[in-house]
Structure 1
Amino acid sequence: MQQGFPITITITADDRFSSSLKPLLAKLEMWINFQALKADWYGKEDHVLTFDFNLVRTLDEKAEQLISESWIVEPGYAYHYENSRLMTIAFIAVDDLLERGTGIELEIKSRLVAVANLIGQQHGLIALIAA
């Protein structure tokens, strides 16, 4: 998304993932931005929320960082929200999804929405829907 919008969402993957994942990341980024548009998150111009989602294999890879900073850790994802900058950094784990082998994209969407909704709720925004 371009700067100037009341919300900025980017989704990247850890360097250990194949570059062939880029089309899926772009699709997920467009999808969650569309969900935010449908929920009128772009209409709240007094808060420019920024979300930086990063797909990782496991949260264990980031354990040192998660402990050293004030991260909220849930099954499948962890996030850190800086209220002063309205910035959220989140790690979305996928190893457990790969082990199950079904509905990976839907589960990633669910985790993206879970993090976004936790922050959005603090700002009185309508909840995004994962389906």
Structure 2
Amino acid sequence: MQQGFPITIVADGQFSDSLKPLLIQLEMWINFTALKAEWFGNEDYILSFDFTLLRSLEEKKLLLCEDNWVVESGYAYHYESSNQTTIAFIAVDDLAQEGVGIEEAIKARLIAVANAVASSVGSGHDLLALS
């Protein structure tokens, strides 16, 4: 199996280092959730995700205009089939403005990206949806 977790979460440079404990907690949570769903059972086929929290998707507007990016409300991602890796951006400013539970809303966006990628890679891998 790979070194480290197959799903990583970082924040862009605009956030304070005080966010680090939350990032570690979210990373452990999403990896454990994927482990429970048996996503890591086939060592030859393990999806990896590199999530980055950022204030808004507007910051990556030029990048997101390129082909192969899926842009939804609050997140955007690009899946690279050659190495089974997804790069994803999770926006958080709109969550703070809405006054919702930010941690739960971030989790919902992480799950939405992971499930969208898992369902798009084909039924041959039979990945259960994360919840």
Assess same fold via TM > 0.5: yes
1-structure distance, mates of 2:52, 2:27? 11
Which position in structure 2 is the counterpart of 1:103? 101
2-structure distance, mates of 1:77, 1:117? 13
1-structure distance, mates of 2:3, 2:62? 34
Total equivalences in the alignment: 127
Q: Is the 8 A contact 2:39 2:46 kept in 1?
A: no
Unpaired runs of 5+ in structure 1? none
The answer as to 2:54 corresponding to 1:52 is no
Which position in structure 2 is the counterpart of 1:124? 126
Which position in structure 1 is the counterpart of 2:92? 94
Which position in structure 1 is the counterpart of 2:16? 18
SS of aligned partner of 1:43? coil
TM-score, with normalisation over the residues of structure 1?
Answer: 0.91
The alignment yields a C-alpha RMSD, in angstroms, of: 1.6
Give 1:125 deviation, angstroms.
0.3
> C-alpha offsets along residues 88-115 of structure 1, whole Å, 9 cap, x if unaligned?
0000000100101221000000000010
> C-alpha offsets along residues 37-73 of structure 1, whole Å, 9 cap, x if unaligned?
1101111223121100000100001000111342100
Which position in structure 2 is the counterpart of 1:66? 64
Unpaired runs of 5+ in structure 2? none
TM-score, with normalisation over the residues of structure 2?
Answer: 0.91
SS of aligned partner of 2:6? strand
The percent of aligned pairs where both chains have the same amino acid is 60
